[in-house]
Structure 1
Amino acid sequence: MKKFLFFLLTTALLSQPKLEDGYVVFKIYAPEAKKVAIAGDFNGWNRNDFLTRDENGFWTGKFKIKPGLYQYKFIVDDKWITDPGNPVRVENFNRTDYNSVFVLSYDWKILLQSEPDARANLEDIYPKTNKIYLNIIWHQHQPSYIDPERDELRGPWVRTHGTKDYYDMASILEKYPDVHVTINLTSSLLLQIEEFYVKRLKPYVNLERNRVDAKRYFKDGVRIDPWIDLMLKNSEEFTEVDFGYLYKNSWNCFSVSEVVLDRFPEYKALKEKNPNEYSISDIRKIKFFFYLANFDPDFLNGKVKLPNGLIVDLTDLIERREGKYYLKKEITEDDCNRIVAETFKVMSSIIPVHKKLMYDFKTRKGQIEIITTPFYHPILPLIYDTDVARICQPFDKLPQRFSYPDDAYMQVKKAVDYYHKIFGRKPLGMWPAEGAVSEQVVSIFVKNGIRWIATDEKVLSNSDPKGLPFYFPYRVDEDTIKGNNNENGSLLIVFRDTHLSDAIGFVYQNYDPEVAADDFIRYVLSFAPEDSSEERLISVILDGENAWEWYRKDEDGKGFLNALYRKLSKLYKEGQIVTVTMSEWIYGNPDRGIKSHPIIEHTEIEPLWAGSWINANFDTWIGEEEENLAWEYLLYVRQDMEKLNVKSPKNFESPKPGTKRYYELKAWESIYSAEGSDWFWWYGEDQTGLGGDEPFDEGFRTHLINVYKFLQKAGYKVETPEFLNNSILRLR
C-alpha cells in the first residue's frame, strides 16, 4: 500500500516530460521492473533506448530533441504503457490504442496539449463578433542543392515537395475564391524548379505518349538529380553508386516520414526487408514508391487537370483501401519512366498555377500575393554583420566577425531581379529568411523597393516601444530618412502569431481535421475587437510544406486545409474574418471592403530588435561550436576572394561560358550559396535532419570548395584549403 501511495504521489509530482539543460528528460517509477525503455517519434520508435534506474526505483532517460510534436510510450519489461506522469494522450496512427504526447516549442518549453473534444463542428457555428483581418503566409523554400561543378542537384527535395506540396498549396485555393493568402516562393526554390526540372526535362518528355526519351536523355548527358537517373535507368544495370541513392546513402529512396510510409504498406515492407534479399522487382518498386509517395493525394485519388490542360491520373497504378494505398499491378521499368513524365507535368505547372491566381494590387484581381526571400535564404543580419548577435545572445561565444553588407544587398537584389524575370513585376513583400531582421538591414529592403516584411511576435516584444500588441502592423524607418515622414523610406512589418502558427506546424497533426480547423477559427475570433471601428490583423506564417507529412489523422493536411478554407469562406460572407494580403492592407481593396492603410500612418518601432522567428535571436545559426566553425570557414573563403580582388557582380550578367568572367560569377554564386541559412541550421546540437546532418555539411563545404575550383578556372593562382575537405561534424 505504501508503494502504491508513493507511486501516485511521485507520478502526480512528475508532470512530465521536463526540459533540463537542453535535454528532454523522461522518468517513470517502476521499482519491480527489470528493464525499461522508451520509444517514440523522437527516436524512430526504437525499442532499445533503455532508461537508467536509481536506488529509489525511478528510471530516467534524457534525449536531445529538436522542436516539434512527439508521441511516445514506455516499454516496461516488454509491456507498452502510456506515461503515468503525463495526462495528455492521443489515439495512435492506427486508432487502436493511445500514446502519450507532448510538444517541444521553438522557445524551448514543454507543452502538454491534447485534442479538444473530438466533435466535428460541421455546422460551423461561431459567436457573432466584429470583423478581424487574417494574414496567412505559406513559406515555400528549399536550399540550393546545386553542385555547380557537377551541374546537378545533390538532393531530390525540390522535386518531392513540388509534386506533393508546391502545386496543390496554390491550386486548392481555386475552390475558395473568397480566401486570399500570401505564398512565399524563395528564389533558390524557383531557380531549381525552372532551370532543372522544367527546362532540362522538357526536350525529352513526349506528352502524347506520357513518356521520357531515356535513351536520348542519357546520350546527351543531361543532369538533373540522381534519382531522376535512377528512374530512367534499367534496375538490372544498377551500380554501387545507384544502390547508394536507392537505400544506402543518408538521402535515399526511403527518406520519407514514418507517417507517410505507413500509408503505403508494400513500401514499408520493403524498408523492413533485408536488403541482401532484394529482388529486381523489389528494387524497381522501391524507386517507384519514392516518387509515388511524394505525389499529393489528389493525384493518387483521381484525375487532376493542370493549368495547361494536361491531366495527371495515377489511379490505374494505385488504389486506396481503408486509408492506405496499394499497387494495382506489377511495376515495370515503363511505369517508372512514366512517373518521371507525370512529375514533369506537375513541376512545369507550379509557376503557371501561381501566376493564374496571382493578386495584382493595381487591378485588385487574384487571390495569392506572391512574395520572395533574399536569394539563397541567408540570415541577412548575420551576413551584414555577425556581431549583431551580441545584442540578442550576449553570453554566447561568437566566431570571428563576418561582415559583408554588399553580399547582403546582393542577396536581396538578386531575389528581386529574379522574381521580376519570372513574374514580370517586382515583389512588394519579402519574408526575410527565418524572419531574421535587424535595424541594419532595413535600408537594404527599402533600397530594393520592398514595402513590407514579416517576422515573429517575440521580435516585437523585444523592440521599442515595449508592450505593443502583435495584432497590428508597425513601421520601421530607414536611418537616412528618420523624421522626414517619407513613405518611400519606410518599411511595414507584420508579426507572426506564434501560438497559431506553431499549432498548424506541430499540434494539429494529431487532431481530427474538422476539430483542428474549428480550434483555429475560434482562436482567431477571440482577438476580434469589441469596438467595431478598431481593426486588427492576425498573421499566421509557417512552412507550407514540411508539416503536412506528419498529419496522422489527415492525409497530407488536405482535410484541415479544406475545412479551414471552407469555414473562412463562410465567415467572410458573414463579415467576421477577412483574409487579406499585405498589398491589399496597404493599398486597399474596396471590392472586398478593405480600406487602404498607408505605411507612414502606422506606429513606428525604434529600434527594431535583432532576432529571428526562433527565440527572437540567432542561436540556431550561430553560437554553438559547429556553427561558429562554419562561419570561420565561410570567412576564410570570403577573405580569399577579397585578397584576389575578384570583381563582384552588380546585376545579372550573362558572360560567354568558359570565359574568365563566367567563372568569376560561378565563384560568386558558390559563395552566395554557402551564405544560406540552411547549412548553419543543421550544425550544432539544436537540429538534426531526418537522414542525418552529414549531407548538409557536405553540401556547405562543396559550395566553398567550388569557389576555389572556379577561381582556378578563371586563372587565379589559388589553392583549395585542405581543411575544407574535412567534415565540420567530425571536427567538433
Structure 2
Amino acid sequence: MNPINLVLLWHMHQPDYRDHETGEFLLPWVYLHAIKDYTDMAHHLESHPRIKVVINFVPVLLDQLEDYIQQFAQGEIRDPLLRLLSKPDLNLITAKERAYILDSCFRSNHTTMLEPYPAYRHLRDLYAMLREQGDKDLMYVSDQYIADLLTWYHLAWTGESVRRSHAIVVQLMTQGKNFSFADRMQLFNLIGELIQDLIPRYRKLAVSGQIELSITPHYHPLAPLLIDFSSARDSEPNAVLPSSAAYPGGRERVVFHLESSITSHQQRFNVEPTGIWPAEGAISTALLNILMESGCRWSASGESVLVNSLRKSNPDQFLPDRNQYLYRPYQIADKDKSILCFFRDDKLSDMIGFEYSKWFGRDAAEHFVYTIEKIRQEAQSIENQIVSVILDGENAWESYPYNGYYFLNDLYELLSNHPHIQTTTYQDYIDNHNFSRTEIKVLPAVAAGSWVYGTFSTWIGDHDKNLAWDLLCAAKQSYDLVMKSGRLTDQEMRLAELQLASCESSDWFWWLGDYNSPQAVASFDRLFRKNLSNLYRLLKLPVPAVVLEPISHGVGRGAGLNETMRRSS
C-alpha cells in the first residue's frame, strides 16, 4: 500500500472589528490571537520542516494585522485595550476606561489561562469580592491593580512559543505584581514585534513549499446565502427564511469578495492562490460555478455536505461505509470547467477542536496517528487516499493546556517520522497525481450546506438571524439606489462599498440568537448595527430607527462553551 495523504488545513479568521468611521478597534481579538495562536502555529511549522499544511488566511484578518503594524509604526494606537496597556499614568484614566478594563481583562478560558497563575487568580478574586459588594465599590480599585490586571491579561494571551523565546515574558510572570510603566511598555513593544513578524514568517514558509496559502472571499461572507436564501432548504426543507425574498445583487457581491481576495493574496504573497476554503465551508452549486470561473483548482467543505450531496445524487442508492467514499476528491464540472472538492473528516477535525484538549498531549497525538493508520487500512479500495482535517487555527487552543504546545509538537513529530502517513497540501496532491477529468469521481449534484451540521442553521432560520438579514437587505437596497444616483464621489463610493462588504460577513449572523451568551451576543450585535449605521451615513441617508435597537440578547446557554467553534454534528 502507498502512504496515505493527510492534509491539515488551519483556518485563520477574525471578522472586521474596526469602526470605519473612527478607525477604532472595538474588540481586541485580532492582536490577542496574533500574539498567541498565529505566532505559535508558525513556530510549530518552523520547528518541524518536514510537516506540510494548508494555512487559510481570510484577507480581512490580514488587513487588520497590517493596520496594527501601522499603528505601532505611527505611534497612534487605535485599539483601546492596547492603548491603555501603554498609558503612562493609569491614575488619570476615566471611569469608563476603568470599567472597560475590568470588563475586558477576564475574558478568556479561566481553566487554562487564569487558574495556573496565582497572581492573576488573586486579581480575579479581589474583583469578585468587590462585585459582591456592588459596582459602586469598584471605584476603590487602585491604579496599581489596573496596571497589574492589564499586564496579566496580556501575559496570559502570549503564546507558549513566545514564553520560551522571550525572557521578558518569564521575567514579568515571575515578578507577578507591582508592574511599572516600564514593565508594561516592554510587553507592549513585544506585542508590536510579534505582529510585525507574522506575515513575513508565513510568507517564508510558503516560499519554501512547506505550506500552501489558501484564501476565503475577502470579508468572509456566507456566499451561498448571499446568492440565494432558498439554498438553506437543500439541507433543511422546512427552514424559515427572512421576509426579504433575496439579497439584492448577491451573486455580484460574492464575485466582489472573491476577486478582492485574489488581488489581496497576489499583492501580499506575489502568487495566485490555487484553492479556496469558502467561509464556514459553505458551498452550493452556484458558488462552485463562480469559483470555477475564477480559475480556482480546489475547494473544500464538511463531511455532512458530502453525505447530503451523495444522497441527492443517488436518492435510491444505499450509502456505504464512510471509508468507501470520504477519503477522495470529487470533481464538480460545468461544461468545459471543473473544480476538485475535498471533504473534511468531521470526526477527526472535531477531536482536535473539542476533545483532545482534555487528553494528555502525547496520548492525543498518538490517538490521532492511530486513527489515520486505521483509515489507511479500512479505505484500501480508494486509490490515492486523502484525509482532510480542517478546523480553526486559533480558537481551539484556548482550551488546551499550554496553548496546545505539547499536543502539536508531539503530533508534528510523529507525523514527520511516519512511514505510512504523508502530510501534504491540496496543491501538491493535485500536482503529484496529475488528475484528468476521466480519472476522478464526479459528484453529480451538490447539496448546499456548511461544515456545521451540514446546514446553514447557524446563520439563518432563527428569528434574530432572519431579522439581521432583513436589515442587511434593506441597507443593500438603499446602497444600490444611492450608488446609481450619481450623488457620491468615486472615493465616497469606494468607502461605501468596503463598508457594505464588512456588513456582509457571516460572523454577525453566527452570534445572533441561538445558544450564545448575552455578553458575546451584545458585542457582535452592536458591531453589526454599527457597521449598518456607518453604511447609511456614508450613503448620506438617515439611519433607520430599527438599526439603533438591539437585534438579539442571547439566551445564556453559551456559558462555559467555546462559542467561537461548533461541532460538525
- TM norm structure 1: 0.70
Give, in angstroms, the shift of residue 328 of structure 1: 5.1
Q: Counterpart of 1:538?
A: 387
Quote the Cα distance in structure 1 between the aligned partners of 2:520 and 2:328: 40
Q: What residue is the counterpart of 2:92 in the other structure?
A: 237
Secondary structure of 2:8's match?
A: strand
The residue identity in structure 2 corresponding to 1:534 is E
Mapping 1:300-319, distance limit 5 Å: 300-303=163-166, 313-319=168-174
* Correspondence list, 1:473-552, <5 A: 473-478=329-334, 481=335, 486=336, 489-529=337-377, 534-551=383-400
Match of 1:288 in 2: 151
Contact 2:332 2:442 in 1 (8 A): yes
C-alpha deviation, 1:450, in angstroms: 1.5
Q: In structure 2, what is the Cα distance between the partners aligned to 1:731 and 1:515?
A: 37
**1:226-625 correspondence to structure 2 within 5 Å:** 226-233=80-87, 234-248=89-103, 252-259=104-111, 260-273=113-126, 274=130, 275-303=138-166, 313-319=168-174, 327=175, 330-358=178-206, 365-399=208-242, 400-403=244-247, 404-464=250-310, 465-466=313-314, 467=319, 469-478=325-334, 481=335, 486=336, 489-529=337-377, 534-551=383-400, 554-571=401-418, 574=419, 576-588=420-432, 595-598=433-436, 601-625=439-463
State the secondary structure of the residue aligned to 1:692: helix
CA RMSD in angstroms comes to: 2.1
The amino acid that maps onto 1:131 is P
Partner of 2:559: none
Contact 1:646 1:664 in 2 (8 A): no
Shift of the 280–542 alpha-carbon distance from structure 1 to 2, 3 Å rule, reads same
Cα 1:369–1:599 change in 2 (3 A) is: farther
- How far apart in 2 are the matches of 1:547 and 1:676? 21
* Shift in Å, 1:425: 1.3
Change (3 A) 1:265 1:396: same
Shift of 1:699: 0.5
State how 1:176-215 maps to structure 2 within 5 Å: 176-194=48-66, 196-204=67-75
1:699 aligns with 2:527: yes
Local SS of the residue matching 2:525: helix
Aligned counterpart, 2:538: 710
For 2:255 and 2:529, the matched residues in 1 are separated by: 23
Specify the structure having the higher radius of gyration (Cα). 1
Distance, in Å, in 1 between the alignment partners of 2:28 and 2:358 is 28
AA aligned opposite 1:139: H
1:586 deviates by 0.9
Q: Deviations over 1:460-485 (max 9, x none)?
A: 1111345461100111123xx1xxxx
Structure 1 residue 622, shift from structure 2 partner: 0.2
Partner of 1:597: helix, strand, or coil? coil
Distance of 1:163 and 1:230 partners within structure 2: 17
Aligned to 1:134: 6
1:175 equivalent in alignment to 2:47: yes
Alignment-derived partner of residue 643 in structure 1: 481
Contact 1:585 1:597 in 2 (8 A): no
* Deviation at residue 339 of structure 1 after TM alignment: 1.4
Greater per-residue helix proportion: 2
Q: Which is worse superposed, 260-269 or 139-148?
A: 260-269
What is the CA–CA distance in structure 2 between the aligned matches of 1:728 and 1:146, rounded to whole Å?
20
- For 1:284 and 1:610, the matched residues in 2 are separated by 50
Partner Cα separation in structure 1 for residue 185 and residue 274 of structure 2: 41
Secondary structure, aligned partner of 2:169: coil
| Kept in 2: contact 1:378–1:433 (CA 8 A) | yes
> Are residue 719 (structure 1) and residue 542 (structure 2) matched?
yes
Conserved 8 A contact 2:51-2:412: yes
Higher strand share: 1
C-alpha deviation, 1:729, in angstroms: 1.5
Number of paired residues? 529
Aligned-pair distance for 1:397? Answer: 1.4
1:130–1:529 contact (8 Å) kept in structure 2: no
Could you tell me whether the CA contact under 8 Å between 2:521 and 2:554 is conserved in 1? no
Q: CA deviation at 1:390?
A: 2.0
Alpha-carbon deviation of 1:556? 0.5
Q: Secondary structure at the match of 1:183?
A: strand
RCO greater where, 1 or 2, for CA within 8 Å and sep 6 or more? 2
Q: Any stretches of 5+ residues in structure 1 without a counterpart?
A: 1-128, 205-221, 304-311, 320-326, 360-364, 589-594, 649-658, 713-717
Distance 2:162 2:205 in 1: 20
Q: Is the 8 A contact 2:215 2:275 kept in 1?
A: yes
CA–CA distance in structure 1, aligned partners of residues 41 and 436 of structure 2: 30
State whether residues 521 and 553 of structure 2, in contact with CA within 8 Å, keep that contact through their aligned partners in structure 1.
Answer: no
Amino acid aligned to 1:226: P
Counterpart selection for 2:15 from 127, 143, 146? 143
Q: Percent identity?
A: 33
Partner residue of 2:558? none
Q: Which residue identity lines up with residue 55 of structure 2 in the other structure?
A: I
For 1:627, the equivalent position in structure 2 comes to 465
Q: 1:438 to 1:533 in 2, by over 3 A?
A: closer
Cα distance in 2 between the residues matched to 1:444 and 1:231: 45
Specify the SS of the correspondent of 1:182: strand
8 A contact 1:475–1:600 mirrored in 2: no
Q: Does the aligned pair in 2 maintain the 1:439–1:608 contact within 8 Å?
A: yes
Cα distance, 1:231–1:153 mapped onto 2, change above 3 Å: same
Measured at CA, do residues 599 and 646 of structure 1 come closer, stay the same or move farther in structure 2, by a change above 3 Å? farther
Q: Could you list the runs of 5+ residues in structure 2 that have no partner in the other structure?
A: 131-137, 556-569
SS at 1:493's partner residue?
strand
Shift of residue 289 of structure 1? 1.3
Measured after TM superposition, the shift of residue 596 of structure 1 is 3.1
Matched position secondary structure for 1:369 = strand
Q: Could you tell me how far 1:647 is from its partner in structure 2?
A: 8.2
Is the Cα–Cα contact under 8 Å of residues 168 and 186 in structure 2 kept in the other structure?
Answer: no
CA distance in 1, matches of 2:553, 2:13: 28
Letter in 2 for 1:422: R
Secondary structure of the 2:83 match is helix
Counterparts in 2 of 1:169 and 1:228: CA distance versus 1, 3 Å: same
Q: How far is the alpha carbon of 1:509 from its aligned partner?
A: 0.8
Secondary structure in 1 matching 2:452: coil
**CA deviation profile, 1:471-521 (whole Å, cap 9, x unmatched):** 00111123xx1xxxx4xx211111000000000011111100010001100
Does the Cα contact within 8 Å between 1:438 and 1:608 map onto a contact in 2? yes
**SS of structure 1 residue aligned to 2:252:** helix
Q: CA deviation at 1:443?
A: 1.9
Shift of 1:385: 1.3
Match of 1:69 in 2: none
Q: Once the two structures are superposed, what CA deviation does each residue of 1:415-448 show, in whole Å capped at 9, x if it has no partner?
A: 1111111111111111101000000111221222
Q: What secondary structure, in the 3-state scheme, does the structure 1 residue paired with 2:390 have?
A: strand
For residues 683-729 of structure 1, the C-alpha deviation after alignment (integer angstroms, 9 at most, x for no partner) is 1223347x4210100000111111111122xxxxx322111100102
Distance change (3 Å), C-alpha of 1:230 and 1:397: same
Could you tell me how far apart the structure 2 residues matched to 1:265 and 1:313 are?
19
What SS is found at the alignment partner of 2:224? helix
CA contact (8 A) 1:500 1:540 kept: yes
Displacement after TM superposition at 1:533 (Å): 8.8
